[in-house]
Structure 1
Amino acid sequence: MNTRDWPIRAKLTALVIGPVSALLALWIFATTLTFGPALNLLAARTLLYDLGRPGETVVAELQRERRLSVVELAGTTDLPALAEQRQRTDRAVADLRRRIDGEDLRDAANDLLDTRLDQLAGALDALPAGRGFIDRRQVDRAGALGLYSGMISSAFQAFSAMATLPDTQLNREALALTALGRSRELLGQTDALLAGALTAGRYADGEYAQLVQTINNQRFLAETAVADLPDTGRAGYQRLTEGEAFIRLRALQDTLVRAPELPARLDVRTWETSQATVQRELRDFELSQADGLAERSVPMAVGILTRLAAAGVLGLAAIVVCVLVALRVGRSLARRLTGVRTAALEMAEERLPDVITRLRRGEEVDVAREAPELDHGGDEIGQVARAFNEVRRTAVQAAVDEVTLRRGLNEVFLNIARRSQGLVHRQLALLDRMERHAEDPDELAGLFQVDHLATRLRRHAEDLVILAGAAPGRGWRNPVATVDVIRGAISEVESYDRVDVGTVQPAGVLGRAVGDVIHLLAELLENATAFSPPGTRVDVTGQAVPNGYAIEITDHGLGMSPQALEDANRRLSRSPDFDPADSARLGLFVVARLAARHGVRVNLRPATPGGVTAVVLVPADLVTDEPALGSARDGAAADDQRMAKVTRLSTLPRPRTARPARERHESGTPVLPFAAGRGSTVEAPPDGDGLPRRVRRRGPARPRPAAAETPAPRPPEEVRRTMSALQAGTARGRRDGTRAMTAPTVPLAQVTPIAPEQPAESSPPEPSAVPDPLTATERDA
């Protein structure tokens, strides 16, 4: 049985129950052993009055009936006295049967006495049949003598079974009285034999030998029984034997023993008188001795019961004291151990996490108040409690030091990130001016590549800001179309050329969340392109749902295991604390932080047939209608100018693959990175990949060939680029005209020129009009 994991109360209870149970069992056993003999002593009186006296009466009546039956069989006529004697015998037997069947006698009797009582009742059942044989003279004198003697012998066997007293002396006296009764029975058998012989005038065959044997047995039993009587009993019996009747009876017995034939001069009357007197005196002596035995057993039983009560009470008191002490000590130990355990669990599960949470919120924590002293005495438990006090103080102090260290680490992250942000913003501004004044296509392509690298550096700097628990500085004052937000995120990804923008239903995102949503989508796009084969595509779609706007990013890589998906979704469902040890999941940490800031829900699920689909659900309170093209509003020009920089990524080289026709919004508008007329200075996309593309400027016009020469046919790509350039120029002209009527004129330097055909990198949107303090400081410097 493994008790290692048992509660302390169960272990203490087991320690107490074993000894107490053993002590209780011993007490019950000792009490039972002592109580049984006491009950036997008390039952001796019951046995005497319910079996001894009624049984002795039955024996006496059977002895008289036996003598009359033998005399009747020896003569020739019926004796009227026999009928009267049978009635007296029947009354005595009936009274004995009633007592045998009673509950008092049966409860006081043991198993042996129960058996002897059943045998006596069976022997008495044969009395009516024996009487019938005698009345019909179908049995001789020896048979009649044996019939009654057998019933009387059963009675004496029952008397012998009564002698089971716990006291040795009392038990010997009871057996002596029973033997004395048997000797009196043999005296009765001698009288019956002699009465039959005297009536018949002679002995029957074998009667003389039986008479002599019976007389000898009677004398032997009497002498043996008297030896076991107490002194007073022996003295009383000695006085009986010295009486005149005993002396005459003994002399007559000696005469019968010496003469093999019936003596001619035998005084029959003297025999009958002496024998009756001796029978009566012996019977009275036996009854008086039995009464004295019963009276002496009662005080002895009371003494035993008194000692038993004293021992039982003391034993029970000892058991109760042991139980109370065990319970008190056990409860004290259990309470103290439970207190230590409760304090440990409270510190581990409640107080220490609460202290860490408060410390992370910037609150001051008193170590002494958060780790109070535990006083559990001076024994081993108290020593453990004092040791635990030190452990608690050390744990709380360690938590304070750790949170202080984390806070300092976050400050370092934030300081470095702010400085990096300022430098990257200044670098992007410088690159923007250089791009506007660059004329060489190769130089412009290089500047665009540097611009794209700087945009990615800005995202990584913002990651540090987010890790430090602060908010990035980028922001927009006005709503931005979801398709522009998606393309802004694509511009911050290294493998942007592998991202395909599919069907994007028209909608807008509030300006306060545009920067964070772009960053969030960029992190997911980065993971999708990084964890999928280089030859696969990443699809991005968007659609309005009842509770917001859902953007799905699907890659076609190997996917993730169910356990990994569950773990990633658990991380994304809440804003976790930054763990420097888990540096492999910084992207998920940043996504979770950004999503928790605006209530955006991000969920990863398996894609079909392979890969992973990231579902970004922008809540309805951040979603608005798609902004109108060329709408005049405060700050629209500045926002459009920042969003226009995102389109520069289209100047980078992209693989030429067969693409489907250009996808459109539900409203029918072509899916462009940014709508024409909203500050975009690039041409419409020449193909259906959803991204605009700069067109390299052509050199000086070549002389037109002679009329005779047949002009060479233009390639379809060149015709498409020409038509796209015409469409973009028309849209730009309309926009500039509208802006000229509704807003101040934008300097020419701010208009992004159309780059030559050689592609270059671009940068994502610039920070908002309210930059971070550190950024402003860097720019002032």
Structure 2
Amino acid sequence: MNTRDWPIRAKLTALVIGPVTALLALWLFATTLTFGPALDLLAARTYLYDLGRPGEAAVTELQRERRLSVVQLAGDAALPALAEQRARTDRAVAELRRRVDGEALRDAADGLLDTRLDQLASALDALPAGRGFIDARKVDRAGAIGLYSGMISSAFQAFAAMANSPDTQLNREALALTALGRARELLGQTDALLAGAITAGRYAEGEHEQLVRTINNGRFLAEDAVADLPAGERTEYQRLTEGPDFVRLRALEDLLIRSPELPARFDVPGWDASQIGVWRSMRDFELRGADGLAERSVPMAVGILVRLGAAGVLGLLAIVCCVLVALRVGRSLARRLTGVRTAALEMAEHRLPDVVARLRRGEEVDVAAEAPELDHGGDEIGEVGRAFNEMRRTALQSAVDEVTLRRGLNEVFLNIARRSQGLVHRQLALLDRLERQTEDPDELAGLFQVDHLATRLRRHAEDLVILAGAAPGRGWRNPVAAVDVVRGAISEVESYDRVDVGEVQPAGVLGRAVGDVIHLLAELVENATTFSPPASRIDVTGRATPDGYAFEITDHGLGMSPPALATANRKLSRSPEFDPADSARLGHFVVARLAARHGVRVELRPGTPGGVTAVVHLPADLITEEPALGSTGPGPRGAVPDGRRMARVTRLGGGPRTRPGRPGRERGDSAVVALPAARTSSGVEPAADGDGLPRRIRRRGTVARPRPTPADAPSSRTPDEARQAMSALQAGTARGRRDGARAAEAAAGTAPSPPEPVRAPQPPTATERDA
């Protein structure tokens, strides 16, 4: 037996109490093994008088009622004797039920007998319904015989379960007597079948075959049971079978077996007389045998109990002495070892976790005060205590060093992230200036691509800030429309051109949460594009809910298994501690922290028919009315005014689009925002018809690029040309709407406020799968 990992108290208990426990178990086993059979022997009388006698009386009355019921079914009129017999049967059954439900029999019965008693009670419950079928003649003679025979069979099964004595000879005799009772029951069935056939004047279909089987089975059971009886009882039964009733009954049975039809001159009175005589002789023989078994079991039980009492008292005295010696020897050793164990558990479960929690909160900890010396003596137990003292000081010092290292690592992350953010913001400002100054479409497209990469770099820098436990610096002063938040998130994704923006219901997101919501949505959209086929589309929608606003991002990839979804949702539902070992799931950490900062709920659900749907639910305190066009402004915390980058998605080659059949926002059915006119390679001028929409014109002085020769010209418009055309069209549309809005405000007597450019975040690379 390997006891290396046992606790100290268990080892001491095994050393001191083990032999005593083994001795006690042996004593209990011997006592139970002897006491149980003694009780079984004493219960034999209980079985006989509480189950055997009343059960045999009930079986007898049921056999008589069965015969009369068959005779009534074979005739044309009701038998008055049947009603009287039913009354006698009810009294016998009631007495049997009373004894079966009594505490004496139930306490003495084992599990098998208890089950058989319940089955007997259930079988007797069918007696009233069966009588009703017989009176209504809804059953035939065979059915009536089967009804009563089933109840009688349940009684004999209960009688057989009483043979649980520890003495095998007694059990053999009890089972032999039960088998003789079954043979007598088969004789009763034969009599009932023959009585019905005689009354009807012929056998019903199948009755003769059943009669033959019943006679043969009864003979077999009787011969087999007699072989297990003692010699004296076997001789007595042999004398009974040689009597005139047995001989005449055997001859009549042989006649019935040989004749397929009812014999014309069958000796009915002879049959009745011999059958009654044999039946009573067998019954008296069984009762005498049962009484003899009960009487013989009592002396055997008394002798067993006397021997058990002597052995039990001596064994108990030996056990008590061993226990007293063992307790006296092991008490002091167990007390000292328990003290060492308690001190170790106190440090491991309470003091050390409390010190680590205080260190993480930035509190100062005195290692010497938190790890006082413990004195446990100068023997081996004292040496263990001193070693534990040293180990405790080392553990506390290691915790201090680990928290200090983690704090320094967070500072390094934050320092690197802030520097990267500063460089990226300066790069974005420079790109913005270059984009304003560039008129060549190809160069402008290249600058937009660099702008897109810089925006993604900025998101990665913000990831470092979040990992360090700080908040990113981007922010907005005013609310931003929900559709612009979606566009800003899409613009930070590498595969933005695969994203379809569906219906985004009008709403505004408070400026203090815009940057974090854009970052959170961008991480989820990035995951959707990364873990779905390159040719598939990503659907993004937004809808108002009773308690806030919900964005849904759906991809059509392979999806995630239910365990993986459950694990991811557990991580997203709380703000976990950053674990450097889980670098492949940084997106989960970033999304969870951003969501926890504003009380946002993020949940991943299986898509239909495939893929994953990420649901981002913003609480009501972050949602307001949708702001008017051009009202979004930069934040007051030094955030770069890059809201215009929300509108730059289409500059890199198409960008997100509204899926067919889904309504867009009221101000523009496309999921893109047009570029400012100053960024396109064509000029604009107001329309002459006053519809507010500008007309694009070619700028003079623009260096014309050489046109390709007809031989080199492609057969259709290239993607770059299509992108430029769409960009110019969107730019003109947006400018026309802004000019129209200013004109309407001027006509109404209000001074329009100059629009503040808003720069939106743009996509990061897909480096991890978070959903």
The two structures have a TM-score, normalised by structure 2, of 0.50
The C-alpha deviation readout for 1:221-270, integer Å capped at 9, x for no partner, is: xxxxxxxxxxxxxxxxxxxxxxxxxxxxxxxxxxxxxxxxxxxxxxxxxx
Find the counterpart in structure 2 of residue 511 from structure 1. 511
- The secondary structure found in structure 2 opposite 1:605 is strand
Q: 1:44-63 alignment to 2 at 5 Å?
A: none
CA positional deviation for 1:327: 2.5
AA at the equivalent of 1:462: E
Q: 1:733 aligns with which of 731, 734, 739?
A: 739
1:577 aligns with 577
CA change 1:426–1:364 in 2 (3 A) is same
State the 1:550 CA deviation: 1.5
CA offset digits 1:450-483 (Å, max 9, x no partner): 1111111111111111111111000111111111
1:327–1:501 CA distance, 2 compared to 1 (3 A): same
The one-character-per-residue Cα deviations of 1:489-513 (angstroms, maximum 9, x if unpaired) are 1111111111111111211111111
* 1:634–1:385 CA distance, 2 compared to 1 (3 A): closer
Equivalence for 2:372? 372
Question: Separation in 1 of the partners of 2:754 and 2:385?
Answer: 76
User: Which is worse superposed, 638-647 or 443-452?
Assistant: 638-647
- Say if 2:650 and 2:672, in contact at 8 Å, map to a contact too: no
Determine whether 1:440 maps to 2:446.
Answer: no
User: Is the contact between residue 16 and residue 326 of structure 2 (CA under 8 Å) also seen in structure 1?
Assistant: yes
In structure 1, the residue matched to 2:126 is none
Match of residue 564 from structure 1: 564
2:21 and 2:662 map into 1 onto residues whose CA distance is: 91
SS at match of 1:358: helix
* Cα distance in 2 between the residues matched to 1:584 and 1:327: 58
TM-fit CA distance, 1:647: 1.0
Partner of 1:344: 344
Query: Is the partner of 1:382 in helix, strand or coil?
Result: helix
Distance change >3 Å, CA 442–CA 679, structure 1 → 2: closer
Percent identity reads 73
Amino acid at match of 1:730: G
AA paired with 1:734?
G
**How far apart, CA to CA, are the structure 1 residues paired with 2:643 and 2:394?**
53
CA RMSD of aligned residues (A): 4.6
Kept in 1, the 8 Å contact 2:647–2:674? The answer is: no
| Residues in 2 aligned to 1:564 and 1:479: alpha-carbon distance in whole angstroms | 36
Partner residue, 2:489: 489
Secondary structure, aligned partner of 1:541: strand
Q: Which amino acid counterpart does residue 481 of structure 1 have in structure 2?
A: A
| 2:761 paired with 1:764 | yes
CA deviations on 1:361-417 (whole Å, 9 max, x unpaired) are 211112223333333333333323322222222222111111111111111111111
Cα pair 1:676 1:732 within 8 Å, conserved: no
In structure 2, relative to structure 1, the CA distance for the partners of 1:389 and 1:587 (3 Å cut) is: same
Cα 1:721/1:613, change in 2 over 3 Å? closer
Contact 2:633 2:641 in 1 (8 A): no
Q: Which residue of 2 aligns with 1:147?
A: none
1:63-93 Cα offsets, whole Å, 9 max, x none, are xxxxxxxxxxxxxxxxxxxxxxxxxxxxxxx
1:453 paired with 2:453, answer yes
Show the 5 A alignment for 1:694-713: 698=698
Shift of residue 332, structure 1, vs aligned partner = 3.8
Q: Which amino acid is the alignment partner of residue 371 of structure 1?
A: A
Task: Give the unaligned 5+ runs of structure 2.
Answer: 28-312, 682-693, 702-715, 764-771
Partners of 2:560 and 2:606 within 8 A in 1: yes
| 1:475 is aligned to 2:475 | yes
Secondary structure of the 1:489 match is helix
Task: Report how many residues are paired.
Answer: 445
Q: 1:382 to 1:728 in 2, by over 3 A?
A: same
Residue 426 of structure 2 is aligned to residue 426 of structure 1: yes
Task: Name 1:614's counterpart in structure 2.
Answer: 614
Counterpart for residue 412 of structure 2: 412
Within 1, Cα distance between the matches of 2:339 and 2:373?
12
What code does the residue aligned with 2:740 have? R
Instruction: Classify 1:319/1:437 alpha carbon distance in 2 versus 1 (closer, same or farther; 3 Å).
Output: same
8 A contact 2:414–2:470 mirrored in 1:
yes
CA deviation string 1:553-611 (max 9, x = no partner): 11111222222222222221211111112111111111111111111111112212221
- Would the alpha carbon gap of residues 561 and 605 (structure 1) be closer, same or farther in structure 2, given more than 3 Å must change? same
C-alpha contact 2:491 2:762 (8 A) present in aligned 1: no
- Where structure 1 has 5 or more consecutive residues not aligned to the other structure, the ranges are 28-311, 684-693, 702-713, 753-761, 767-781
How far is the alpha carbon of 1:443 from its aligned partner? Answer: 1.2
CA distance in 2, matches of 1:391, 1:696: 80
Structure 1 residues 442 and 546: CA distance shift in structure 2, 3 A: same
- Provide the rounded CA distance (Å) in 2 between the counterparts of 1:394 and 1:626: 59
> Retained in 2: the 8 A contact 1:678–1:735?
no
Instruction: Please report how far the alpha carbon of residue 430 of structure 1 lies from its aligned counterpart in structure 2 after TM superposition.
Output: 1.1
CA–CA distance in structure 2, aligned partners of residues 508 and 679 of structure 1: 26
Q: CA contact under 8 A between 2:674 and 2:731: conserved in structure 1?
A: no
**SS of alignment partner, residue 469 of structure 2:** coil
Q: What is the CA distance between 1:356 and its match in structure 2?
A: 2.3
Counterpart-to-counterpart distance in 1, 2:671 and 2:520: 18
User: In structure 2, what is the Cα distance between the partners aligned to 1:429 and 1:470?
Assistant: 24
3-state SS, counterpart of residue 327 of structure 1: helix
CA distance in 2, matches of 1:764, 1:603: 23
Going from structure 1 to structure 2, the CA distance change for 1:553 and 1:519 (only over 3 Å counts) comes to: same
Preserved contact between residue 656 and residue 671 of structure 2 (Cα < 8 Å): no
